[in-house]
Structure 1
Amino acid sequence: MTHTPYPQSYYAFSANPVPLRPELQGEVETDVCIIGAGYTGLSTGLFLLEHGFKVTILEAAKVGFGASGRNGGQIVNSYSRDIDAIERSTSAKNAQLMADMAFEGGRIIRDRIQKYNIQCDLKDGGVFAAFTKKQMGHLEAQKKLWERFGHKQLEILDAKRIREVAATDNYIGGMLDMSGGHIHPLNLALGEAAAIESLGGVIHEQSPATRIERGANPVVHTPKGRVKAKFVVVAGNAYLGNLVPELASKSMPCGTQVITTEPLPEDLARSLLPQDYCVEDCNYLLDYYRLSGDRRLIYGGGVVYGARDPANIEAIIRPKMLATFPQLKNVKIDFAWTGNFLLTLSRLPQVGRIGDNIYYSQGCSGHGVTYTHIAGKVIAETLRGQAERFDAFASLPHYPFPGGRLFRVPFTAMGAWYYTMRDKLGV
C-alpha cells in the first residue's frame, strides 16, 4: 500500500514529534468508528472517550493531513454565513441554539490546549480588516449582532487603530475580536491525537475507508482490515471522496493557497503586526495572514474551485502579500502549499445522520477551525442521547449545486467572480 506523507508545508516542517501509528490490519470491534483524523474526527473522538466510549479512528494518510493541518491557523468565531442568515433559514429556537454555539468552538480549543498541555503557539486576538465603507458598515452590524448574543470581546477599529495593528495602508478600519486568535494548526491536531491515545483511543493511519457496510452494526472496510462498530462518524470533509455518495452531491472540494516567508528579523516582524494578532480581510474571496511562533509571515488566500493544485502557488499569493506589505519585497518564501476545504451551496455546515447509526458533519466552507470543535462535541452529545443541538444543525436546509457535479465548478466560479467584482467596485 502506498504511504501518504504530509505535504511539504511549513506546518509539517515545524511539527512536534509524533509516534508511528500503524495501518489497520485484521478485524477490530469498537463502540464508535470515526472516519478521518482531522479536527472533526479528533474532537468527536476526544469528547466520546471522556465519556467512556471505546473509539477507533481511521485516517487515510496522517493525523491532520487535510485542512486541519494546512489551514491559516486562525481561530475565527461564528460560521461562514453569520447568525442572521441562520435566523432566516430555521426556527427561532434552532437559531438561538446555533447562535449560542457560534462562539463555543474557540473556548473548546483553549480548553483542550490547557487540559492536555498542547504546544501549538496559541496567541489571542483576531482582526477583520475593511477596505471600504460598505465593509465597515458590515462590521459594525456584525458587532451589534454578536453582542446581541452575548459576545462582548469586540472593538471597532478606525483607520488610525487598524494601522497600529497591521502595518499597511490598505484598510480604512476593522474589528478586533479578542476571543479570536491563532495557533499552529497541525500541532493542535497532533496534540488532540495524543490526548485521544492517552485515554485509550486508537488511531490507524494509512488506513483509508473503502466501504461502509450499512446495517444494525455497521462495518467500515479498509484495504487490509475492517472495523465493526455500533456507530460510525463520517468526518472526511473535502478528502472523503465518493465514500458516501449522498453527501458528495451537496458539496464541492475547493483549494486555498498559503505561503510562508523565511524567519523575519524581530524588529521587522514586530513592525508588521505589533500586537501579534491574526488578520483576515472582508472580501468575498478573502486574504488572511499572521506571524508564526518563529516570526515567519504566513499569508494565504485565493480559491481554486474543484480543488485543482495550481502550478505555481507563490506566483498567486506573493503579489497579494506584497500588496499588503511591500516592505517584504526582498524576503524569501520558504514554503508554499495548497489544501482543500469543503464548500456547500449555502456556505453553512451539513450535519445529519444516515439511518440510525451513521453520523456526519461536513462543509465548513472555509470556516472550520472553530466549527469542527463544536461539531465534535455536538455529535458526541447525540451518541449519549442528547440530540437537541445536533438537531438544530440538522434542521438547516441544504441543496445540490445547480447543474449537478458536472457544472458545480463553473457555476460557483461565476458566483465568486460576481462577488469579487462587487468587492472591487465597493457596491
Structure 2
Amino acid sequence: MQTSPSPGGHAPSLYAATGLPQPPRPALQGSTEADAVVIGAGYTGLSTALHLAEAGYRVVVLEAQRVGWGASGRNGGQLVHSYSRDLDVIEARHGTATARALGAMAFEGAAIIKQRIQQYGIDCHFRPGGVFAAISKRQVGQLEHHKALWERFGHRDLELLDAGHSEAITGTRRYRATLLDRSTGHVHPLRLAQGEALALESLGGVIHEDSAVTRIERGDPAVVHTAGGQVRARFVVVAGNAYLGGLEPQLAARSMPCGTQVIATEPLGGRFPEILPTNYCVEDCNFLLDYFRLSADRRLIYGGGVIYGARDPAHVESIIRPKLLKTFPQLKGVRVDFGWTGNFLLTLSRLPEVGRLAPNIYYSQGCSGHGVTFTHLIGRVLAEAIRGQAERFDAFAALPHHPFPGGRLLRVPLTALGAAWYDLRDKLQR
C-alpha cells in the first residue's frame, strides 16, 4: 500500500497517482498587484477566483503547497446537497426567513460543478447519481423525512427505494432502504481542482504555489505578504479552511480541524459485478458515517470515521478495512493499494462560517463535512459580494458562531465524547 507522499508533495492517495498534468507554478517573488488576491488553492479559493476572473477581475491565488493539496484533493469525491445541518435544523434555530434564504442556495453547488466540468472540459471522471443509505428502522424514517424536507424546498429528483432495490444498486444487504438523488454524483476530486486551476489560468489568473501567506496587512489596498514577496489588492479572500493555521487567530478560535480516512482497493475488474453496478456513490445515515464509490478503473474507494483534532492515524487501513468488510464481506482478502487521511474544518454549529475580517477582506470556512458542493456555491457568493451584490453573502454572514466549549484545551475531548454518544445511539437502534 502506498503510504509515502506522492510526486508533487500530495498525500499518498489514488487521486495524486492519477491526477491531471499540471504546469509549474513558481513561488511568489517580489511585488505585484491584482484586483483580488485569494489565499488557498482549494475549492473555495479556486471557485471564488474563477468567478471573479470570468467577471474580468485580475486575480492572484497564493497556495502554501500545491493546487488541491488539502481537503479538496483528498475527499470522497461525492457531490452532496445542502449543509451539514439540514434545512429543518436551520429553520428551527434561525427562523423561516434564514431557512428560505439558505434553502434557495442549498442545491446550487452541484449544478455549478457540473456546469464547470462542461464549460471547461474538465476530465474529472464525473458520474451521476448519489445514494443515502439507512441501516436501522429509525434511519428509514430519517430518509422519509429527508425526502419530504428537500421536496418542500423545491428539490424533487429523489426516489426512496426499499431493501431489495437498495441491494440491487449497492451490492450489499446491509441497508433497509436508500434514498436515490439522481441530480448529484461523484468526481475525482483532485482532477476537479486541477481542472479549475487550469480554467482560471486560461482566463489570465495567476497561481503561485509554495507561497504560504505570512501576514495580511489591512488597508485599501490590502497587502498580502509571503516569505518571497507581496501582493497589493483591492480585495482579499481567505480560503485556507482546515489548513489556514495561525494566520488569522480569530478564525481558528471558532473552528476545529478534524481528520477523516480513506482507502482505495486494487482494481476489482469483473470479479464483483454486484458491487455498485449503477456506479452511484453511497453514504450511510450514521452520525460517524461511511461513504464509498467506484473509481474510473473500478477500485472501491471507501472512507469513514473522524479523528477529532486532525491527528494523522498511523494505520489508515486498519481503521477502514473493518468498515468496508462489514458492508462488503465478499471483499475479504482484497488488496488495499492506497490509504490516506485529510482534514476538514468543523464549526460548533456544523454550519459554514462566512464573513469579513475588514471591509475588503472576506473569508469562508468550516464546511463541516459538506465541502465539495458548498465551496463551489460560496465561491460564487463571495464573488457576488466583491462585485457589490451582498444579499446572498449576508444570509450566511448573519449566522451566529461561537467558540467550542472549554476552549482549545477541551474542544477535542468534549467533541469526541459527544460523537461517541451519537455513535452508540446509532448502534443500539439498529
Q: Scaled by the length of structure 1, what TM-score is found?
A: 0.98
Distance 2:94 2:284 in 1: 28
Q: 1:397 and 2:422 equivalent?
A: no
Q: What amino acid does structure 2 have at the position aligned with 1:117?
A: G
Q: What SS is found at the alignment partner of 1:127?
A: strand
1:128-207 correspondence to structure 2 within 5 Å: 128-207=132-211
Q: Name the residue aligned to 1:296.
A: 299
**Are positions 1:242 and 2:246 aligned together?**
yes
Q: 1:363 aligns with which of 353, 362, 366?
A: 366
SS in 2 for 1:378: helix
How many angstroms apart in 2 are the aligned matches of 1:116 and 1:36? 21
Gaps of 5+ in 1: none
**Contact 1:90–1:395 at 8 Å: present in 2 too?**
no
Task: Name 2:4's counterpart in structure 1.
Answer: none
Alpha-carbon separation, structure 2, partners of 1:421 and 1:408: 20
**C-alpha deviation, 1:159, in angstroms:** 0.6
Contact 1:95–1:392 at 8 Å: present in 2 too? no
Pick aligned residue for 2:57 from 46, 53, 64 = 53
Length, aligned pairs only? 424
List aligned pairs for 1:286-325, cutoff 5 A.
286-325=289-328
- d(CA) in 2 for partners of 1:8, 1:288: 19
- Give the conservation status (yes or no) of the 8 Å contact 2:216–2:225: yes
For the residue of structure 2 that corresponds to 1:101, the secondary structure is coil
Gaps of 5+ in 2: 1-6
Partner AA of 1:173 in structure 2: A
Query: More deviation in 49-58 or 88-97?
Result: 88-97
Query: How many Å apart are 1:89 and its aligned residue?
Result: 3.1
Partner-residue secondary structure (3-state), 1:108: helix
Letter in structure 1 aligned against 2:326? A
Q: Distance in 2 between matches of 1:335 and 1:354?
A: 39
Contact residue 89 and residue 396 of structure 1 kept, 8 A: no
Name the counterpart of 1:426.
Answer: 429
Residue 336 (structure 2) aligns with: 333
Q: Which residue of 2 aligns with 1:71?
A: 75
Match of 2:235 among 227, 231, 235: 231
Cα RMSD for the two superposed structures = 1.1
Q: Distance in 2 between matches of 1:167 and 1:30?
A: 52
The Cα of 1:4 is off from its aligned counterpart by: 6.9
Indicate the SS of the match to 2:104. Answer: helix
CA drift at 1:136: 0.8
Q: Could you say what secondary structure the match of 1:259 adopts? A: strand
Aligned positions of 1:272-283 closer than 5 A: 272-283=275-286
Letter of the structure 1 residue corresponding to residue 289 of structure 2: L
Residue 9 of structure 2: aligned partner = 5
Identify which of 39, 43, 54 aligns with 1:39.
43
Conserved in 1, the CA contact under 8 Å of 2:168 and 2:274?
Answer: no
SS at match of 2:211: coil
Q: Which has the higher mean CA deviation after the structures are superposed, 212-221 or 241-250? A: 212-221
CA contact (8 A) 2:143 2:178 kept: yes
2-side partners of 1:93 and 1:4: how far apart?
A: 46
Q: 2:19, 2:294 → 1: CA distance?
A: 16
In 1, Cα distance between equivalents of 2:394 and 2:299:
42
Residues 1:20 and 2:24 aligned together: yes
What percentage of residue pairs aligned between the two structures are identical? 64
Partner of 2:103: 99
Amino acid at match of 2:92: R
Q: Deviations over 1:330-363 (max 9, x none)?
A: 2110000000000001100000011201100000
TM-score, normalised to structure 2's length? 0.97
Take 2:352 and 2:427, find their aligned partners in 1: how far apart are those partners? 28
Q: SS at the partner of 1:365?
A: coil
Deviation by residue 1:366-395 (Cα, 9 ceiling, x = unmatched): 110000000000000001111000000111
Give yes or no for the alignment of 1:382 onto 2:420.
no
SS class of match (1:178)? strand
Segments of 4+ moved more than 4 angstroms: none
User: Per the alignment, in what secondary structure is the counterpart of residue 333 of structure 2?
Assistant: coil
